[in-house]
Chains A and B, each alone.
Chain A
Amino acid sequence: MEKITVKIKRFDGRESYYQKYEVPYEKGKTILWLLTMIREEQDPTLNFTSACRHAICGSCAVQINGNAFLACNTSLDEVLDTYKTMNLTFEPLKNFDVIKDLVIVWEPKMEKMEKVKPWIIPSEKGSNEHGFLQSEEEFHQIAAPTDCILCGVCASECNQLAVNQEGYLEPFILNRAYRYIVDSRDGSPQDHLQPVLENDLWKCLHCMQCVSQCPKSIPLTDQIAYLRSSTMQMGAVNNQGAKHAYAFHDDVKNKGRLNETMLPIKTDGLVQTALTKIPFALRMIKKGKINPLHMPKQISGIHEVRRLYEYAEEVKS
């Protein structure tokens, strides 16, 4: 019978090491099934967390061969097929503290989340006795962001967070802020927005990893774009991030495309870039997200692009 070779990163509170298990392959199973089989039939000392087993409680996210997934709704067959292998390596989520084996701690993340006041600051239009009126349209604004199950997949995948744990906010935290900023019932959106701006909002690098792995398909990067333009509307234009936006604007206007290699240099200055962006850039190169040797030329339709800019300016004024 076919066997799956599973390597799991173990951690006992002091040391970490990899342990190997072999599990007979079965068709139509989930990753959570695989982990449960190992624990119940081979090794009861193995720890991971799960509860609902239907993608709503957010407890079971782990890394498989370097990417984060929810264990309970990820098909084993699909993973084997994607990675074209019968060897799977399990590790705890990245960018979290680990307690044991695949188990991570959430409290520090919640403390960080409190920065954005992740609760409603009720506007005067509602009351405890009568609630609020909210249109269907307004509800739709908050429908997707409230799908978040706090599974941590986005944080694990976040390339900015990997080099900037202190300064940057986890995508799920930005989502929480966004959720209240756009909630028609909230009376004080700036109280959620200001802390977002103060915590390196502009450092998102558009690698799109969070969005592509989010088990609930929450449009995290669109939200970040929204948050950025909201801070600019708030008048916060003279910061590094807004300068970045202008650099972006200039690049596209001049060349018709973005020069991702030059962008950090334009916004941060060369020395700063060398000091802080290198580890990140190396990760991105490894993942094939940017090509540092690529120097964009003008694209052929550049005049059209410029005309779009002119048009946008006209419409604005």
Chain B
Amino acid sequence: MLKFDVVVVGAGGAGMMAALSASKDKNLKVAVLSKIFPTRSHTGAAQGGINAAMGYRDNTDSTEKHFRDTVKGSDFLADQDAVEFFTSRMPEIISELDFYGVPFSRDENGHVAQRPFGGASSPRTCYSADKTGHVILHALYEQCLKNKVQFLNEWFLLSVVVENGEFEGLVAMDIREGKIYPIQAKSVVIASGGFGRIYWSRTTNAINMTGDGTAACFEAGIPIKDPEFIQFHPTGLAQTGVLLSEACRGEGGYLINRVGERFMARYAPEKMELGPRDLVSRSIETEIKEGRGFGEGMTSYVLMDLRHLGEKKIMERLPQVRELAMEFEGVDLIKEPVPIRPSCHYTMGGIHVSDFETCSTPIDGIHAAGECCSVSIHGANRLGGNSVADVVLFGKYAGIGAKESAKRRIFGGTTKLEQEATEWNAKFKAIRENTVGTSMFDIRNRLAETMWYNVGIFRTESDMAKALETVDELIEEYKDAYAGDPAEKYNMAFINYVEIGNILKLARAVTMGALNRKESRGSHSRGDYPTRNDEQFLKHTLIYKNGNKYRLEYAPVKITKYQPEERKY
């Protein structure tokens, strides 16, 4: 049987940081498992930057201010001890990344450059032009090559195996060979990224962001924390969901409906298109809902019109935006408006991390970092630039935590590992042999539609109750859905099948969390409960899965310094 001291699942920013710190102990056998080649990971998509109070651009900035901004941004749902730990260590991490060769943009003094970002009281977002995540991902990969980290590329995590509360290891598939392996391990770091794909086409996330690690932990008995908090971005391209920069609105773009109105006049007569993200998102969806959008169903949209700015201004100020619209939507902004619609951008919730210093979950030996989990430093709403920061910082500490766990723990039993591998083999065989049933893509699309309309930007009791029913039906239908590829080797249809199973499980948790949180807080906005209710809901949702049963509990939020107050900007 394959055996490692530490296994890291995921090779994005969080996974590679974890691998680098775990493999510092040369006596430990460490492996990184990734379903895609490491540099394809979604961390590469982050453009804007990474937050750290370096104080280079504004010497009045401090880790304390970063702490306060993050807590306020989270609508007071973040755990303040964790946030303080995070903000106070971020400056070191930036220097470490610099030392790893990350090509940061520079200021006139030769320091890492910083820019202002939404929700930040000082300009503290470090960046590399518009490719911050990309260059961090590549530098970390280079460091892994240098340090001879062992990668198992195109290996897919199927399950995390826990027997009587003890972590035993993992079951994973080598996609290229089509073979399923039990893997014994003393500890694991799950760093498998977010699950924005529950909304399928309406997300800025890469197509593989299906929350596999989150679903595997959920299945293994670890609760999911605060899944109902999902961040939406108002301007995703209509066809693909690809993010269209906020700069369009910033530079004075108009939002136009089917009858040619600048409809923001109805919702934010003063600020118009420059209203806050969530308000703009809700306004666009209202227009579509009330029949003033273009197109139909999931492909409906409104227009972002920049033509009045003129060719010169567009070319000067928004050349990249123009190129993006041209490449991905086939539209030249100088001549035509571009179809847009809000898109799911980030999942605040995830695997319940119960100890932020080691990123341990409630099960000894299982650690988690990055978007797949919730520490929680983002609470009900993540600030721009805080996620890549989260990923590298907690990735590092999760790696150290897993290293210590591995030194302390011994290998567990193998019976359940063997048994789960056998079950997955049987499932693989059955899916390959199946020639009938509803197409899995159809199930995926219906899930997205239900989630988008009922557990998306608007949420009400009756809509969400409807969604819960639909999701349950889809989970039933999924069991004998049709994947369509009989091959053993490189069977991506099977992989997609498992991924769709995972988003179904997670979508159910999102819906359940949202239904039960009868208040509006951060990204969770309910028409029937429009205000925040600290008395009842200043607490974390924890959802457990036991077979087909889901159970919901609440856990207290850690408040150390900042008492909740109204969140106004």
- Chain A residues proximal to chain B, CB less than 8 Å: 12-13, 27-30, 33, 40, 43-45, 47, 49-59, 72-75, 77, 99-100, 103, 106-107, 110, 113-114, 117-120, 122, 126-136, 138-139, 142-143, 146-150, 180, 183, 185-186
Contact = CB atoms under 8 A, between A and B. Distances in A.
A28 B96 CA distance: 44
A239 B487 CA distance: 51
A128 B110 contact: no
Interface stretch (B99-107, B272-280, B516-524, B546-554): B99-107
B284 to A, nearest CB: 21
B40 A59 contact: yes
A73 B101 contact: no
Contacts of A33: 239
Given A57-B40, A58-B39, A143-B103, A30 B328 contact: yes
Contacts of B146: 117, 119
Contact of A146 (B92, B103, B107, B176): B103
A118 B489 contact: no
Contacts of A129: 92, 95
Instruction: Give the interface size bracket for B toward A.
Output: 35 or more
29 contacts: A28-B330, A30-B330, A49-B40, A50-B207, A51-B208, A52-B40, A53-B240, A53-B328, A54-B45, A54-B240, A54-B243, A57-B206, A58-B40, A75-B326, A99-B490, A106-B37, A107-B153, A118-B145, A120-B101, A126-B98, A126-B99, A127-B95, A131-B94, A131-B97, A131-B99, A131-B112, A133-B109, A136-B106, A143-B129
Interface stretch (B80-88, B130-138, B363-371, B531-539): B130-138
A89 to B, nearest CB: 21
A44 B487 CA distance: 11
Contact of A53 (B41, B108, B207): B207
Given A47-B492, A183-B101, A59 B145 contact: no
A79 B237 CA distance: 22
Contacts of B138: 146, 148, 150
Contact of B145 (A27, A50, A114, A150): A114
Given A47-B492, A74-B327, 17 more contacts: A43-B484, A45-B493, A49-B36, A53-B240, A56-B44, A56-B134, A57-B44, A73-B327, A77-B330, A99-B176, A118-B142, A126-B99, A127-B99, A129-B92, A146-B103, A146-B135, A183-B103
A100 B154 CA distance: 13
Contacts of B105: 136, 139
A44 B153 contact: no
Contact of B487 (A12, A30, A59): A12
Contacts of B328: 30, 53-54, 72-73
Given A27-B330, A57-B44, A149 B101 contact: no
Contact of B106 (A106, A119, A139, A150): A139
Nearest to A44: B484
B484 A45 contact: yes
B242 interface: yes
Contacts, number: 162
A120 B142 contact: yes
Contact of A134 (B37, B92, B110): B110
Interface in B36-53: 36-37, 39-42, 44-45
B111 interface: yes
Instruction: Among B42, B45, B110, B331, find the residue whose CB has the most chain A CB atoms closer than 10 A.
Output: B110
Contacts of A130: 95
A119 B206 contact: no
Interface of B: 36-37, 39-42, 44-45, 92, 94-101, 103-112, 128-129, 131, 134-135, 138-139, 142-143, 145-146, 153, 176, 206-208, 239-240, 242-243, 324, 326-331, 441, 483-487, 489-490, 492-493
Instruction: Among B100, B139, B206, B484, find the residue whose CB has the most chain A CB atoms closer than 10 A.
Output: B206
Contacts of A119: 101, 142-143, 145-146
Instruction: Among B42, B142, B153, find the residue whose CB has the most chain A CB atoms closer than 10 A.
Output: B142
Contacts of B139: 120
B441 A40 contact: yes
Contact of B489 (A40, A100, A107, A135): A100
Contacts of A13: 489-490
Nearest to B440: A44
Contacts of A49: 36, 40
Interface pairs A-B: 3 shortest CB-CB: A28-B330, A131-B98, A120-B101
Nearest to A179: B103
Instruction: Among B112, B328, B331, find the residue whose CB has the most chain A CB atoms closer than 10 A.
Output: B328
Given A28-B329, A119-B146, A139-B104, A52 B44 contact: yes
Nearest to A139: B106
A99 B138 CA distance: 24
Contacts of B493: 44-45
Given A131-B95, A146-B135, A52 B143 contact: no
A186 B107 CA distance: 19
A147 B110 contact: no
A135 B324 CA distance: 30
Contacts of B96: 128, 131
A99 B254 CA distance: 47
Contacts of A148: 138
A180 B145 CA distance: 15
A18 B139 CA distance: 39
Contacts of B128: 146
B465 to A, nearest CB: 31
B42 A54 contact: no
Contacts of B99: 120, 122, 126-128, 131-132
Contacts of B36: 49, 51, 59
Contact of A75 (B98, B330, B490): B330
A172 to B, nearest CB: 11
A53 B485 contact: no
Contacts of B153: 106-107
A190 to B, nearest CB: 17
A120 B330 contact: no
A135 B103 CA distance: 11
Nearest to A110: B145
Nearest to B138: A146
A51 B42 contact: yes
A146 B39 CA distance: 13
Contacts of B131: 56, 146-147
Nearest to B327: A73
Contacts of A134: 106, 110
A49 B45 CA distance: 16
A148 B329 CA distance: 23
A54 B331 CA distance: 15
B428 to A, nearest CB: 15
Contact of B45 (A50, A52, A139, A180): A52
A315 B42 CA distance: 51
Contacts of B112: 131
Instruction: Among B101, B131, B135, find the residue whose CB has the most chain A CB atoms closer than 10 A.
Output: B101
Contacts of B92: 129
Contact of A45 (B176, B327, B485): B485
A130 B129 CA distance: 21
A152 B153 CA distance: 17
A33 B206 CA distance: 14
B41 to A, nearest CB: 8
Nearest to A33: B239
Contacts of A45: 484-487, 493
